[in-house]
Chains A and B, each alone.
Chain A
């Protein structure tokens, strides 16, 4: 009954409920607000020094955000493309090496299990990044195929570098050739005796990049960017600032703006891609993928029950978690994310509505806002209009070559 020392050491995890990310030694001294919280069991910050100012770093200079806790799977082998084509709703055979797909995957009933980004690193080498964990689902999908699937969340550190000067920062840091990256394109660059993968992607709707390195090279990558960013207004930011930017960009968050199929306790809470604004991802020409027949049947039979919309709301009080009404009376949905947008100068929200409200019936929508003001609720009924997402569309996001600010 003696256990080998490695196994014994692995037992010790229980002493640390929230694990530090590979960037923690650099980030911790910066986090003046000490507003730590847990993301997938790792220690991350709500804000670093002032979430308002951090937001403006995203929109005016450059922001560095630690995305290491994002769940990452590596899918490799001759059948990797076939496996992912069966898993996801988009056509992976059309995804070239060096490209990134925003995608989603469904259970057999066509209900969304998660959304995420798929990086094609090689002909038979992919990385899938997402919010929730799916190892059993992925392994089941891969059954009978020549493919290896591994969770690599801990081994790979990730940073999001976002904002108008993000290209200037990378350029200054010496990543030659990064100017050639178009949106959703990735490339490998030399770093610290190894490689860093840089993609022109992000969650802000702004010019921006995401960088992935082995956890052992995390600190040297941080230092390289930090030094390069000194004259370009680079700031570390927390999730709250990022969240504002992502709402402006109209992006949705799994288990924030929709409930994933594997976590829903109540049968009516699950959603098909068409019910969370992801219908454009579904490639119906693809012969087979998980949930295909259910999605097609729902479209044909008109049984889609919900729709996810962007709302613009009168006045300036954010309508977080507010109920949406039609004609001031009938309850038709719920707001899952809402802010006053500093860049659009509009009061915006993402909402899930019951069809036909939000799909066919767009007028006479109202939002019930309870604003707690000095121990008294100000109850308001405000007019809401369905508008296009993104709420903020920035030319610099997709400009080629990227601008320096």
Chain B
């Protein structure tokens, strides 16, 4: 039997990031992946000939450039491409475009409200100010406020200093931002319903909250604190789909001698005398190592892979009540030709960005009401993109891949499990909404992959299909993520760590949890990373 220094359970992006750092530091690491491919929720699979889908995550901004550099991902093929803007289609036949060019953006907003057009700069400055505060925290282990260890104290002092630099007005703004609903927040700046609908999108994506729920302003911030090549808040496509991120991570890991075993589902973490010593696979094989790291979410790790009796009651209680509510589904569609949207002027660049059909916050909130009642939204919110307008690698020339992220979509349908008929009916609401704005859309469809929380949980392993491995609400952030007292990637079991998006700073294909976890593991092993850069200066 092979003996390793570290077993990584799951080959998602955070698992591969951590594995990459650990292997480079000199540890012998094996990644055990249950699927026949790696990538977790960052995969590109060819389900119909000639078409690559970004099966789950579909755009990239949060993935930390420091990690790309440390792990030499560009050398292993990773390219991130910026895109220009997008559009919200309005029911009256108009549309609101968004553009990278500042003046085009302003003129477009001015069509809906001259006041809002000029309010955008103040809004953008205020959001950017908050991002500047929070972005450096992503690449640091959150301090445990009650440990009184020197490290934690110095980290608290670091935080206090950052607060101190802010000034009273900024701090007040921050507290409000972290607790408000995105609807209330936007009301302070804007009057146009369609402009508010456009800006609220980042506040609800991936979250089982509506635009009027407190806490959604923070979710918006989470989506703004990424960057593409220093352009903070910008989003881009990974060339070759989001699988390109994990493909490069896997290649980087293997290039320094790391082992990846696909088709190897872990059944249990084996412990001896309160210490993790290896894992048992579903096929009965065992793999042993000094340390076990789980890339699975906190519920899957501690409620399925570990015996509850090996864990403190209070810890189990906390894990059980960690909020992981699935709220979204996904349609990946292979198209025979580029869809037409008569509302868009000919040659509009908006077709290359994110497109939406929800033109006011009321509709968005009604969609959420359906979710609360245990149904998928009858009038769903769709984040729709056609990456092949910029990426030639995902479909044959003239053909296109369309990614539709759909909210809201409950983990169970009115209290029962999803059926195939439910899934097809869910897909139909989406296709029907798109068809309302794009005549002949159905006829262009060659193949379609439909993913409800059921498929996300079964295939990717995301409990309830929650894309962030746990809600990004303030009660579950920083030293409370995932469990107070266990926010530093360790667990009650010696030698067992977690490194997925359930941990600080959360999901969104950021890689920071994996990197921070690797730092803690190496600290315990009294080793140093070969290369682990501090967070870049912001702006």
Residues of A whose CB lies within 8 Å of any CB of B are: 1-3, 7, 10-15, 17-18, 38, 40-41, 109, 133-136, 139, 151, 262-267
B119 within 8 A of partner (CB): yes
For the complex formed, measure the closest distance between the CB of A114 and the CB atoms of chain B, giving whole angstroms.
12
B421 within 8 A of partner (CB): no
A267 partner, pick from B111, B166, B345, beta carbons under 8 A: B166
Inter-subunit contact B93/A41 (CB<8 Å): no
CA distance A263 to B123 in the complex (A): 10
CA distance A17 to B100 in the complex (A): 11
Q: Contacts A11-B345, A17-B103, A267-B167 known; A262 to B121 CB distance under 8 Å?
A: yes
Residue in chain A with minimal CB distance to B131: A265
Q: Which residues on B sit within 8 Å (CB–CB) of A40?
A: 103
CA distance A10 to B104 in the complex (A): 12
Q: Which residues on A sit within 8 Å (CB–CB) of B128?
A: 265
Q: Which residues on A sit within 8 Å (CB–CB) of B121?
A: 133, 262-263
Q: Which residues on B sit within 8 Å (CB–CB) of A14?
A: 97, 99, 104, 107-108, 345, 348-349
Inter-subunit contact A135/B170 (CB<8 Å): no
Residue in chain B with minimal CB distance to A7: B94
Inter-subunit contact B122/A262 (CB<8 Å): yes
- Encode B109-121 as 1/0 by CB contact (under 8 A) with A: 0010011011101
Q: Which residues on A sit within 8 Å (CB–CB) of B348?
A: 14
CA distance A314 to B111 in the complex (A): 52
Residue in chain A with minimal CB distance to B116: A136
Q: Contacts A1-B92, A14-B97, A14-B108 known; A265 to B103 CB distance under 8 Å?
A: no
A-B CB contact pairs (8 Å), 11 listed: A1-B93, A1-B343, A7-B111, A11-B345, A14-B107, A109-B169, A133-B106, A136-B118, A262-B121, A267-B165, A267-B166
Q: Which residues on B sit within 8 Å (CB–CB) of A13?
A: 104, 107-108
Instruction: State how many residues of chain B have any CB contact under 8 Å with chain A.
Output: 37
CA distance A133 to B114 in the complex (A): 11
Inter-subunit contact B108/A136 (CB<8 Å): no
CA distance A13 to B170 in the complex (A): 36
For the complex formed, measure the closest distance between the CB of B69 and the CB atoms of chain A, giving whole angstroms.
25
Q: Contacts A2-B93, A3-B94 known; A11 to B101 CB distance under 8 Å?
A: no
Q: Which residues on A sit within 8 Å (CB–CB) of B166?
A: 267
B125 within 8 A of partner (CB): yes
Q: Contacts A135-B114, A136-B115 known; A41 to B345 CB distance under 8 Å?
A: no
* Extra pairs beyond A11-B345, A13-B104 (11, CB < 8 Å): A1-B93, A11-B97, A12-B345, A14-B97, A41-B102, A133-B121, A135-B115, A135-B118, A136-B115, A139-B115, A265-B128
CA distance A103 to B267 in the complex (A): 73
Q: Which residues on A sit within 8 Å (CB–CB) of B117?
A: 135
Residue in chain B with minimal CB distance to A136: B119
For the complex formed, measure the closest distance between the CB of A151 and the CB atoms of chain B, giving whole angstroms.
6
B132 within 8 A of partner (CB): yes
Inter-subunit contact A151/B114 (CB<8 Å): yes
Q: Nearest 5 A-B pairs (CB), nearest first?
A: A41-B103, A1-B93, A135-B118, A3-B93, A133-B118
For the complex formed, measure the closest distance between the CB of A258 and the CB atoms of chain B, giving whole angstroms.
16
For the complex formed, measure the closest distance between the CB of A108 and the CB atoms of chain B, giving whole angstroms.
9
B91 within 8 A of partner (CB): yes
CA distance A370 to B103 in the complex (A): 34
CA distance A140 to B539 in the complex (A): 30
B129 within 8 A of partner (CB): yes
Inter-subunit contact B125/A38 (CB<8 Å): no
Q: Contacts A135-B118, A264-B125, A267-B170 known; A10 to B93 CB distance under 8 Å?
A: no
For the complex formed, measure the closest distance between the CB of A128 and the CB atoms of chain B, giving whole angstroms.
14
CA distance A18 to B101 in the complex (A): 10
Inter-subunit contact B125/A17 (CB<8 Å): no
For the complex formed, measure the closest distance between the CB of B539 and the CB atoms of chain A, giving whole angstroms.
7
For the complex formed, measure the closest distance between the CB of B116 and the CB atoms of chain A, giving whole angstroms.
8
Residue in chain B with minimal CB distance to A3: B93
For the complex formed, measure the closest distance between the CB of A71 and the CB atoms of chain B, giving whole angstroms.
9
B101 partner, pick from A7, A17, A263, beta carbons under 8 A: A17
CA distance A263 to B99 in the complex (A): 19
For the complex formed, measure the closest distance between the CB of B487 and the CB atoms of chain A, giving whole angstroms.
29
CA distance A40 to B189 in the complex (A): 21
CA distance A43 to B539 in the complex (A): 28
Q: Which residues between 375 and 406 of chain B lie within 8 Å of chain A, taking CB atoms?
A: none
For the complex formed, measure the closest distance between the CB of A311 and the CB atoms of chain B, giving whole angstroms.
29
Count chain B CB atoms within 10 A of each CB in A1, A3, A41 and give the residue with the most: A1
Inter-subunit contact A10/B111 (CB<8 Å): yes
Residue in chain B with minimal CB distance to A42: B103
For the complex formed, measure the closest distance between the CB of B136 and the CB atoms of chain A, giving whole angstroms.
14
CA distance A354 to B95 in the complex (A): 49
- Encode B330-372 as 1/0 by CB contact (under 8 A) with A: 0000000000000101001100000000000000000000000
Q: Which residues on B sit within 8 Å (CB–CB) of A133?
A: 106, 118, 121
Q: Which residues on B sit within 8 Å (CB–CB) of A265?
A: 125, 128-129, 132, 539
CA distance A369 to B122 in the complex (A): 35
Inter-subunit contact A3/B132 (CB<8 Å): no
For the complex formed, measure the closest distance between the CB of B207 and the CB atoms of chain A, giving whole angstroms.
27
Q: Which residues on B sit within 8 Å (CB–CB) of A11?
A: 94-95, 97, 111, 345
CA distance A2 to B103 in the complex (A): 27
For the complex formed, measure the closest distance between the CB of A36 and the CB atoms of chain B, giving whole angstroms.
14
CA distance A75 to B94 in the complex (A): 31
A41 partner, pick from B106, B114, B122, beta carbons under 8 A: B106
CA distance A1 to B357 in the complex (A): 13
Residue in chain B with minimal CB distance to A10: B111
CA distance A18 to B129 in the complex (A): 28
B125 partner, pick from A2, A151, A263, beta carbons under 8 A: A263
CA distance A12 to B348 in the complex (A): 9
Q: Which residues on B sit within 8 Å (CB–CB) of A139?
A: 115
Q: Which residues on A sit within 8 Å (CB–CB) of B92?
A: 1, 3
CA distance A109 to B169 in the complex (A): 10
